Amino acid sequence: MEIREMDLKDYCCLNRNRFEIDPEQDAAWYFGNRQVSQELLSRVKSDFLVRGVPKCGIFGRFGFGKTHTLYHLKYLFDKDSKTYPAVPFIMRINPYDETTKGLSGWKYIHGKMLDAIGETFLREIVREFDNLPSSRTTELSFEMMKVFKFGDENLKASLANLLSAFFLREVKSTLPAWQWLRADKITKSGDLEDKGVKKMLDTGGDMLNVVLNIGNLVRRVRGSGIVFFMDEAQALSEVKKRQTEIHDAFLQLAEPDNTDVGFVFAYFGTGVTAIPKVISQPDDILSRLGVSQSNIHLAIKDLLRLISTKKDLKDFIKEVLDALINKDKAKNLIDNLNLKSVKPEQLPFTQEALDRTVEVLYEKEPNRNARMIINTLATLSAEAYQKGKQLNKYIVADRDFIEPLIKDL
């Protein structure tokens, strides 16, 4: 194959189409601060013992790996349900905007929680509950009501009737059910009334009680809870008019009587003072997490800096290249093109070029984060690839090649 016919994946011998780290695809690889990782997992495991489900958070600056950390946690939960007995769901709180209709209030966050759970999972849980021996003795919705702990009897009955009617068997449309679950406007209320749904979700408390009861159902069926990994929670700093409603909802989630629905939120910030006030003030939520303003770090972990020394930076680059390069493919390419200046595990870079990249990135503190390092490597690889295609010749990213590209970093 001629160089001009190669794509970037072939040119750099990548195991994916682009030079990137994907939080979900690469969730098994944790590139954050190892000490913080141990402290966070220790808190999570402790929460399972003390609170039934994780109730904690993380924060960090731009590029420190907040999203990746949440996906790594999800990977661990999915892989080892015995150690981490909760079904994980990823959701993104941002954008939150009280000036835009539909982007504020607990209803907005509630909708994201329901979207994260999804119809497939709801249907699985309802059918698994139906298969329990105890569910065979009486009507399914009646047995389901016994499991629910939250809300008044009308809410419990409405939720049980709705789940039994719309998610046990295939139906023509689950739209009316989802409109009710999400507290949206009901287009055909008769469809719900005929199924025994008598109560609408009028308040944030009603909405949260639905999610808490779904958590009860999961616990009954699978012996585990559910946990929401809430990314970009710094958006909650925009909560102004709905402060009381949203604070109360998080307070209910933090309450000791909720042992089935957990949360781990991640937000951008440079200290515990950056925690959205809707969560930190007053401190009734924090107290239920077992902390106060003085020791909040025990429940909400600072991801800290991954790169503190040049060695840290050099090691991180090695980890990135190890994760992305197909070394067997790279060795064949190097042999076929007689590229003597590069090693398979570093393609398309020379060691001298990588050393120079480390020097330049380390000079400025804002460049010492995972995102900037990965982006720099990706840019240099792309430049070498484009030049190689133009000349129909393999261009190695050596020091002379990268120097004009990195001097202004």
Q: What is the pLDDT of residue 72?
A: 94
For residue 97, which of 82, 108, 88, 86 has the smallest C-alpha distance?
108
For residue 306, which of 60, 70, 75 has the smallest C-alpha distance?
60
Q: What is the pLDDT of residue 290?
A: 96
Confidence of residue 36 (pLDDT cuts 50, 70, 90): confident
Question: Is the per-residue pLDDT at 176 higher than 80?
Answer: yes
Q: Give per-residue pLDDT as tens, 115-146.
A: 999 999 999 999 999 999 876 667 899 999 99
Confidence of residue 14 (pLDDT cuts 50, 70, 90): very high
Of the listed ranges 121-135, 143-157, 347-361, the least confidently predicted one is: 121-135
Cis before 256? omega within 30? no
Q: Give per-residue pLDDT as tens, 258-281.
A: 999 999 999 998 777 788 999 999
User: Could you give the percent of the chain with pLDDT greater than 90?
Assistant: 81
Confidence of residue 191 (pLDDT cuts 50, 70, 90): confident
Of the listed ranges 11-15, 185-189, 363-367, the least confidently predicted one is: 185-189
Of the listed ranges 27-41, 175-189, 231-245, 345-359, the least confidently predicted one is: 27-41
Q: What is the pLDDT of residue 35?
A: 78
DSSP string, 56-108: EEEEE-TTS-HHHHHHHHHHHHHH-TTTS-EEEEEEE-----TTSTTSSHHHH
Of the listed ranges 106-115, 199-208, 322-331, 369-378, the least confidently predicted one is: 369-378
CA separation for the pair 55, 228 (Å, rounded): 10
Q: Give per-residue pLDDT as tens, 59-94.
A: 988 777 899 999 999 999 999 999 999 999 999 999
Q: Tokens 């209910």, residue?
A: 252
Instruction: Show the CA angle centred on residue 379, arms to residues 332 and 26, nearest 5°.
Output: 70
CA separation for the pair 253, 250 (Å, rounded): 5
Give the three-state DSSP class for 349. Answer: strand
Q: What is the pLDDT of residue 187?
A: 87
Q: What is the pLDDT of residue 409?
A: 73
Q: What is the pLDDT of residue 216?
A: 98
DSSP string, 216-232: HHHHHHHS-EEEEEEE-
CA separation for the pair 388, 261 (Å, rounded): 53
Give the three-state DSSP class for 268. Answer: strand
CA separation for the pair 357, 355 (Å, rounded): 5
Higher confidence at residue 7 or residue 304? 7
Of the listed ranges 129-143, 195-209, 390-404, the least confidently predicted one is: 129-143
CA separation for the pair 242, 144 (Å, rounded): 33
For residue 84, which of 92, 95, 75, 97 has the smallest C-alpha distance?
75
Give, for 266, the enclosing helix (H) or strand (E). strand 261-268
Q: Give per-residue pLDDT as tens, 314-324.
A: 999 999 999 99
Is 0.75 surpassed by the pTM of this model? yes
Give, for 52, the enclosing helix (H) or strand (E). none
Tokens of 243: 């402060």
* Residues 8/381, Cβ–Cβ less than 8 Å: yes
Q: What is the pLDDT of residue 145?
A: 96
